[in-house]
Chain A
Amino acid sequence: MLAWTIYITFFGVLVLMLLPRDNARAARIVALLTAIAGCVVALVGAIQQTNPGEVTTIVKADWIPAIGANYYLAADGISLVLVVLTGLAAVSGILFSWNIEKRTKEFFAFYLVLIGGVYGVFLSFDLLLLFVFYELTIIPKYFLIARWGSTRKEYGAMKLALYSFVGSHLVLIGLIAAWVVAKGQLGHASLDLIELSKVHFSAGFQHWVFPLVFVGFAILAGMWPFHTWAPTGHVAAPTAGSMLLAGVVMKLGAYGCLRVAMLMFPEGVREWQWAIAALAVGGIVYGAGVALVQKDFKFVIGYSSVSHMGFVLLGLATLNTIGLDGAVLQMFSHGIIAGLLFAVVGRMVYDRTHTRDFNDLETMQLGKVIPFAGVTFVIAGIASMGLPGFSGFIAELQVLMGAWQVFPKMTILAGVGILVGVAYTLRAMQKAFYSDAPPKPVDHDHPMEPITVAERFGAVMLISASLVIGLFPNLLMNWIEPCFKSPLFARLLSGGAQ
């Protein structure tokens, strides 16, 4: 059933293409309905999966037998979490792009292609298929930014696309090497992820292939110091674009790290564990530090994403159940919260004020003019600071608990990153919405457009998602937890060879 998330989304693209060019309203509705259908299918499908600990095959068919490629879609608990996240992000992104007037139809078509690709990555258990979907997401990203973006959009789009391609080529090289070695061991060509995760690659081989594949994926997860695409890309992108970039695209990278790099090369991970943790903590502290001095509102959120994704990578580096649990939960949590933050900055503020410079925003009294945006940002900020009650707290707590067992000193540094996180969030909150600067006279001829119903819906949806998971984390932990107890991950977690 979950496979239909992909089919429905691409079917939506087809329908959009058949619409008359200037009917923006119809395009919006088709896109929204498609996204809602995808989200509902994702939710229902996820709930129906009775055993989230096991990889449940959805469809498996020969694709290119000569190289062992299958059309193999399947899901385990981790996929379920991320598929549901994609569904939520897709719907909310459309709600926050309701005001797109320029080539509405194409905008949503690219948008849905991106979503379809993301669904595909999270459900693929065949390396080639996964890679195809992964690449499929790069093209719409480029066009979304370059055509509908702002602030140095061509630069941002090109930087993002090039970084993505460099990353995926590192992955490709690594995977081809692994495929060759595996073919020799298995006696037949295989791209089946589960089969490959049982192959024992020699330690020497893992030593150089693992970093290749891991870094290749981690570039997209915003790993420091390969993060610079993220802030510029986020800032240049249109609101929905940055919501998806932070919300789901960065998760593709982290997912690839876990699902492909770590699963296939467990000894490589253990060898590089310290390096990954160091880079992750570097990203946490560094991203927070840079966010603290930005003058552009959106850059603050952009760098905060780098910082928060550092927690995902730190969780992955722990190689213990609790840390990995935290990493996956943090993927979900950050997807929701960062999406919301970008929605406030891009849609609620920038689309109305046409500026993101704190100096200008300070004179606008936005807390009074658009109080809904202010309150939403305060709530999102609270969630982003990792305050209890929201999903971020329980995720970061688990990551810290996991990390403490392996690298206590780095955990303390990560804690400092949280502290700076509080500082930049409060700074942005007060500067943008609750400033005491002398107000500029209000332009009564062009009053600010009030917050629309679509925006309200989107904000409430994302806040509730974060809140529900914050209060009842078990809803997702019930899916994540059994995965790491399953035989698939045994080799990664047991610590032994073989």
Chain B
Amino acid sequence: MIWIVKNLWLIPALPLLAAGIIAVNKQPARKLAAGLAIGSMALGFLLSLCAFAATLGQHGEGAFRETFSFNWIQFGGQWMSIGWVLDPLTAIMLVMVTFVGMLIFIFSVGYMAHDKNFMRFFNFLALFASGMLGVVIANNLLLLFVSWEIVGLTSYLLIGFWYHKASAAAAAKKAFITTRIGDLGLLLGMVWLYAQTGTLNFYTPEHTGCLEASALAGMVSKTIFGGMMVSTAIGLLIFLGAVGKSGQVPLHVWLPDAMEGPTPVSALIHAATMVAAGVFLVARVYPLMAAGAAPVEHGAPITTALTVVTWVGAITAIFAASIAVAQNDIKRILAYSTVSQLGYMMMGLGVGGVAVGMFHLITHAFFKALLFLGSGSVIHGCHEEQDVRKMGGLKKYMPITFVVYAIGMLALAGFPLFFSGFWSKDEILHHASLWSVSKIPFYLGCTGALFTAFYMTRQMGLVFFGSYRGHEKSAHGHSSHSSESHSHDPHESPAVMTVPLIILAGFAILLGVIGTPAWPWFDAYLNGELAELQIKFSNLAESAGLMGASALIVLTGITVGWMLYGKRQRKTAAEKDVLEAAQPAIFKLLENKYFIDEIYEATVIRFNAFAAWLCDFADKWVFGGAVLLVKYFTIGSSWLYRLTDENVVNGGFDAACGSIRGSGGILSKLHSGRVQTYLRIIGVALVALIIFLIWGRKA
């Protein structure tokens, strides 16, 4: 076994250790906290590179895969072992998470510089990183679930980091509860999987893992109601966990609200890594999702589970993209864009297989982290302003941020040829167009791509072009504070924030290279094949048509966006949006996110509140009432007894009692009503009893 497989646990353990040290450190030691967190990620990144190197150059007989397990707990008559696995999927995620994480940590040093809870922030960030890396390396659904919950918890803590803001506290609660609904599915899926296969290890050296042929065959052969295969049912339950975590419809509602957290958190957790964990989970249990299908020549096998994944992904992609068109908060636009892109990834997994979905996950992680950090730089520069209507003209004030943001935007929009997002999205659309079940996801995906290009151009136009509209709010006090007015101008962020942006921008461009149709290295790497440079005319011709089409879509979106928001700039922040002026009803629907929150408020939440109220009512009046009834019955009958006693029985008895009363006085001293006397008697009697029992019997 290679040393790196055995020591893979170090990668999540390092940030955990850092979090622990920060937590026990009482003194304010900002440099130490940041240094430890960043250092642990840097070391983790180096180790991840070693792990990555180990998985390279393995081709011929499938992908590289080594596992390490140990016994953790004994229950139900057998040992549960947990452990980790190193395969291309793990390795690529490790490299991505540690690298992006490290950059975002560095960025946070600048972004959070003035926050008085700096230490707590890095503590939670490091803890998050540990959980996330745990999810990535886990070779066991239980360990994965454990890490998954740590990730969810830290997400809750970080969304609510500024808990004194009511909206942040509410958002944190909403995020936690909504994702827990998904987690319940995952938990039940796990319980069922264990009941079926007797193991939760994904892969074992003896090929007895729950994702390996023999276990899968067992689950495929059993069916439940409606003829559904058990493997499908379990796969769908696990997918529910992914739906919650990755913000898929209908559990997407928490993700946009999660933007209440500090921006680096949005970048790391709610864009690059955690929300992608759901996609990763589906990729990890892919053999289960694909179990029982006939082998197909290319793309993904057709199974019920994967069909559901595709549809959920496609609907989410178009749904969230359309909402993003009508949002005004810079981070919320990006949040809906994230939801939409996660939908693309799910769709990619469903129609094209692991490599397709994962490729988009990796490229998205870089350019979306870039966009979020860029938006953080914008917000920072505009003095905590998040409304795009109050920005404008920032190109002049923040040149570096402008350039990198433009790169991120073009990558996300899928601008042809030079940006990674184009290649990864094209892969998904390419496979969707070949999907044999239905062509609708393909059309949904294309429309979503159009929207994406449009809303990103809209955002660019509003934020960076035209003239700065941020002074308006303080306009009335302008004359008296004219000396301060200069400091209200937006300013470029410090180097500690811009350098990570530049690095991410580089990757947002370059990463496309590893997954072009001409050199599909990524696909080959995940499948353990050798990637060859295949510049064959037939290959190119096949993909050129679609590529041209998708390029056309993107260019249309960008052009329309530019016409409406770039060339024609809004004059004031209060002015109506052009779309709103043209189509007020549709715009309102989109602006209010299709009223999903309100629908949930009116149905699920109200039902829940009613059920809880009903239980409370029952407790107070039904069960409490029964107790009261017994009580009054007892009291009533006692009164009756007493009356009988005094009038009937006592009449004759009193006389006899007179003589006894004298002797009773002695006994009544014992009944003094004084607790300590009772206790003393109990104590002495017990000790006497014990002494009698222990020694008395021997004599």
Taking Cβ atoms with an 8 Å cutoff, the residues of A that contact B are 7, 10-11, 13-14, 17, 21, 61-63, 71, 103, 105-106, 109-110, 113, 143, 147, 159, 225, 227-228, 231, 286, 289-290, 292-294, 320-322, 325-326, 367, 382, 387-389, 393-394, 397-398, 400-402, 404-405, 408, 411-412, 415-416, 418-420, 422-423, 426-427, 430, 434-436, 473-474, 477-478, 481, 485
Q: Which residues of A contact B187 (CB under 8 A)?
A: 397, 400, 415, 418
A451 CB, min distance to chain B CBs, angstroms: 15
CA distance A126 to B373 in the complex (A): 69
A13 touches B683 (CB 8 A): yes
In the docked arrangement, what's the CA distance between A321 and B74, Å? 11
Report Cα–Cα, A416/B187, bound state, in Å: 11
Please indicate the chain A residues that have their CB under 8 angstroms from the CB of B682 in the complex.
Answer: 13, 113
Contact of B73 with A473 in the complex, beta carbons under 8 Å = yes
Report B-chain residues with C-beta under 8 Å of the C-beta of A394. Answer: 73
Report the minimum CB–CB distance from B339 to chain A (whole Å). 22
Q: Are B683 and A474 in contact (CB under 8 A)?
A: no
Complex contacts, B165 vs chain A, CB 8 Å: 436
**Pairwise interchain contact A322-B612, C-beta atoms closer than 8 A:** no
In contact, A474 and B73 (Cβ under 8 angstroms): yes
Q: List A contacts of B181 (CB < 8 A).
A: 419
**Which B residue sits closest to A105, measured CB to CB?**
B676
- Tell me which of A103, A398, A419 contacts B75 (CB under 8 A): A398
B451 at the interface (CB under 8 A from A): no
Interface string of B552-582 (1 = CB under 8 A from A): 0000000000000000000000000000000
Residues of B634-692 at the interface with A, using a CB-CB cut-off of 8 Å, are 675-676, 679-680, 682-684, 686-687, 690
Q: Can you list 30 residue pairs at the A/B interface with Cβ under 8 Å?
A: A7-B690, A10-B683, A13-B682, A13-B686, A14-B687, A17-B680, A17-B684, A61-B697, A63-B693, A228-B624, A290-B615, A321-B76, A382-B153, A389-B146, A389-B150, A394-B73, A397-B187, A398-B76, A400-B188, A411-B188, A415-B184, A419-B177, A426-B173, A430-B173, A473-B72, A473-B73, A477-B74, A477-B75, A481-B75, A481-B77
B153 touches A405 (CB 8 A): no
CA distance A436 to B160 in the complex (A): 12
Total count of chain B residues near the partner, CB < 8 A:
55
Could you tell me the distance between the alpha carbons of A259 and B164 in the complex, rounded to whole angstroms? 50
CB-nearest residue of chain A relative to B194? Answer: A401
When chains A and B are docked, how far (Å) is the Cα of A308 from the Cα of B195? 23
- The residue in chain A whose Cβ has the minimal distance to the Cβ of B79 is A474
Residues of B within 8 A of A159 (CB): 627
CA A302 – CA B169 in complex, angstroms? 25
Q: Does B619 contact A (CB under 8 A)?
A: yes
Report yes or no: B177 in contact with A423, Cβ–Cβ below 8 A: yes
Q: What is the CA–CA distance of A471 and B146 in the complex, to the nearest angstrom? A: 11
Contact A388 B75 (CB under 8 A): no
Question: B74, A290: Cβ atoms under 8 Å?
Answer: no
Residue in chain A with minimal CB distance to B192: A404
List, in ascending order, chain B residues with CB within 8 A of A435's CB. 169
Whether B612 contacts A290 by the Cβ 8 Å rule is yes
Q: Which residues of A contact B163 (CB under 8 A)?
A: 367, 430, 434, 436
Smallest beta-carbon distance A100→chain B, Å: 14
CB atoms of B177 and A415 under 8 A apart: no
Asked if B195 contacts A109 (CB within 8 A), the reply is: no
CB distance from B420 to the nearest CB of A (A): 35
Tell me the smallest distance from the CB of A424 to a CB of chain B, in Å: 9
In the complex, which residues of chain B have a beta carbon less than 8 angstroms from the beta carbon of A143?
675
- CB of B176 within 8 A of chain A? yes
Interface centre among B149, B166, B697 (most CB of A within 10 A): B149
Residues of B contacting A: mostly: helix
Are B76 and A400 closer than 8 Å at their CB atoms? no
CA distance A144 to B75 in the complex (A): 39
Please report the C-alpha to C-alpha distance between residue A325 and residue B188 in the assembled complex, in whole angstroms. 19
**Chain A residues within 8 Å of B684, by CB:** 14, 17
Q: Collect the chain B residues with CB atoms within 8 Å of residue A474's CB.
A: 72-74
Residues of B within 8 A of A113 (CB): 679, 682-683
Q: Taking the nearest CB of chain A, how far is it from the CB of B613, in angstroms?
A: 6
**Shortest Cβ gap from A468 to chain B (Å):** 13
Q: Determine the chain A residues whose CB is within 8 A of the CB of B600 once the complex forms.
A: none
CB contacts under 8 Å to A, within B189-236, are 191-192, 194-195
Decide if A10 touches B623 in the complex (CB within 8 Å).
no
Residues of B within 8 A of A109 (CB): 676, 679, 683
Given contacts A10-B687, A387-B153, A401-B191, contact A422 B75 (CB under 8 A): no
Say yes or no: B687 contacts A320, CB within 8 Å: no
- Encode contact with A along B608-625: 1 for CB under 8 Å, 0 otherwise: 110111111011000110
Contact present for B188 and A422 (CB under 8 Å): no
Cα distance, A105 to B687, chains bound together (Å): 18
Tell me if B442 counts as interface (CB < 8 A to partner A).
Answer: no
CB-defined contacts of A398 to chain B, threshold 8 Å: 75-76
B59 within 8 A of A: no
Is there a chain A Cβ closer than 8 Å to B145's Cβ? yes
Distance in angstroms between the alpha carbons of A388 and B180 in the assembled complex: 13
Question: B residues within 8 A CB of A419?
Answer: 177, 180-181, 184
Closest chain A CB from B459 CB (angstroms):
30
Q: Shortest Cβ distance from A20 into chain B, in angstroms?
A: 12
Whether the pair B679, A13 counts as a contact (CB closer than 8 A) is: yes
Chain B residues in 8 Å Cβ range of A422: 176-177, 180
The 3 closest A-B pairs by CB, nearest first: A322-B76, A388-B146, A289-B615
* Distance between B262 CB and nearest chain A CB, rounded to angstroms: 16
7 further contact pairs, Cβ within 8 A, besides A147-B675, A367-B163, A427-B173 = A14-B683, A113-B683, A293-B615, A393-B149, A426-B173, A430-B173, A435-B169
Distance in Å: Cβ of B631 to nearest Cβ of chain A = 9
CB nearest to B611 among chain A residues: A289
Residues from chain A with Cβ under 8 Å of B149 in the complex? 387-388, 393
Cα of A436 to Cα of B163 in the assembled complex, Å: 7
Tell which of A292, A388, A426 touches B176, judged by Cβ atoms closer than 8 Å.
A426
Q: Is the CB of B683 within 8 A of A17?
A: yes
State the CA gap A231–B624 with chains docked (Å): 11
- A71 touching B693 in the complex, CB below 8 Å, given contacts A17-B676, A294-B616: yes
Nearest-neighbor residue (CB-CB) of B619 within chain A: A290
**C-alpha gap A103/B166 in the complex (Å):** 44
Please give me the residue from chain A that is nearest to B165 by CB atom. A436
CB atoms of A401 and B195 under 8 A apart: yes
From B145, B188, B615, A286 is in contact (CB under 8 Å) with B615
Give the residues in chain A near B169, CB-CB below 8 Å: 430, 434-436
How far apart are the CA atoms of A408 and B194 in the complex, in Å? 13
Q: Which of A325, A393, A400, A416 contacts B191 (CB 8 A)?
A: A400
| Nearest chain A residue, comparing its CB with the CB of B174 | A426
A151 to B163: give the CA distance in the assembly, Å: 32
Give, as a whole number of angstroms, the nearest-CB distance from B200 to chain A. 10
CA distance in complex: A143, B682 (Å) = 14
- Contact between A325 and B75, CB atoms less than 8 A apart: yes
Which residues of chain B are near A367, meaning CB under 8 Å? 163
Q: Quick one: which of A10, A412, A473 contacts B188, CB cutoff 8 A?
A: A412
Q: Smallest CB–CB gap between B410 and chain A, Å?
A: 40
Nearest chain B CB to A203's CB is how many angstroms away? 28
The residue on A at minimum CB distance from B72 is A474
A11 to B682, CA, bound (A): 12
Chain B nearest CB from A419 CB (Å) reads: 6
Chain A residues with Cβ below 8 Å from B619 are 228, 231, 290
| CA A361 to CA B74, docked complex, whole Å | 43
**Do A225 and B623 touch across chains, with their CB atoms under 8 A apart?**
yes
Q: What residue in chain A is nearest B152 (Cβ atoms)?
A: A387
Q: A290 to B616, Cβ gap below 8 A?
A: yes
How far, in whole Å, are A21 and B674 apart by their CA atoms in the complex? 13
For the complex, give the distance between the alpha carbons of A416 and B612 in Å: 13
Chain B 370-401 interface 0/1 with A at a Cβ cutoff of 8 Å (1 = within): 00000000000000000000000000000000
> Which residues of chain B are near A294, meaning CB under 8 Å?
616
A401 close to B76 (CB less than 8 A): yes
Which residues of B are found within 8 Å of A389, using beta-carbon distances?
146, 150
Within 8 A of A (CB), among B302-347: none
CA distance A106 to B676 in the complex (A): 6
Q: Are B195 and A405 in contact (CB under 8 A)?
A: yes
